[in-house]
Amino acid sequence: DGGITQSPKYLFRKEGQNVTLSCEQNLNHDAMYWYRQDPGQGLRLIYYSQIVNDFQKGDIAEGYSVSREKKESFPLTVTSAQKNPTAFYLCASSSGQGSSANSGYTFGSGTRLTVV
Amino acid sequence: QQQVKQSPQSLIVQKGGISIINCAYENTAFDYFPWYQQFPGKGPALLIAIRPDVSEKKEGRFTISFNKSAKQFSLHIMDSQPGDSATYFCAASSNDYKLSFGAGTTVTVRA
């Protein structure tokens, strides 16, 4: 079955720690995205990548970093510079062929990060 | 600021009733308008989508109405069922693939 796998499902971070959230897809999608979800605020774009070894900042990139060394993988690191990291993090992918072939995003099941 | 404005924030409907969620956008470059359904603790899943060359699209009990001149689109859930209780997000994108999402609407269907 093709899809997106996010791990872990739950993650706890101590103050001052960096943590990395994993996102792997086997859909052969070119584009991948990270969103943060907070209650009442919808989905806010953190970073996105259209091709391997290239990525762009989204609307709330401060305190986060990403890499795209393989087409299948797009890990997100929440750094200690992110002052309010407690949230639900969602990874998504799309074919990225342009709107004529755009079939929307496929989302993972999310990682819930809590600062302790 | 949000590029897609969604309302209402929440709604309650009786089983068999109609749920209506509205979205508005400003960016005229948007050319793809999907709706996503999300259950608690899960990622959103694509429900239905429309492009601006049509004014309405129906899939089962779900219908999107699109008004290009008003830059508005809406989701109608007919014959609402308890299993439809979820959070619904509208979204929009242009050729750069990035989806901009509305803030979400929590729908509760009472049996």
Q: Per-residue DSSP letters for A94-108?
A: E--S-GGG----EE-
Residues ≥6 apart with Cβ < 8 Å to B73: B22, B23, B25, B33, B50, B64, B65, B66, B67, B90
Whole-number pLDDT of residue A16 = 86
Tokens encoding A40: 């009442």
Using DSSP's 3-state secondary structure scheme, residue B40 falls into: coil
Dihedral over alpha carbons A53, A59, A60, A66 (to 10 degrees): -10
**Integer CA distances (angstroms), B27 to A49, B3, B33, B96, in order:** 22, 7, 12, 13
Positions in chain A whose pLDDT score sits under 70:
1-2, 96-103
Whole-number pLDDT of residue A92 = 95
Using DSSP's 3-state secondary structure scheme, residue B4 falls into: strand
- Predicted confidence (pLDDT) per residue in A41-61, tens digit: 789 999 999 999 999 999 999
B 16-35 → A contacts, CB under 8 A: 31-32, 34
Using DSSP's 3-state secondary structure scheme, residue B85 falls into: coil
Q: Answer whether B10 touches A (CB < 8 Å).
A: no
Q: Answer whether B59 touches A (CB < 8 Å).
A: no
Taking the CB of residue A70, how many other CB atoms lie within 10 A of it?
Answer: 10
Distance CA(B42)–CA(B12), nearest Å, equals: 21
Whole-number pLDDT of residue A102 = 54
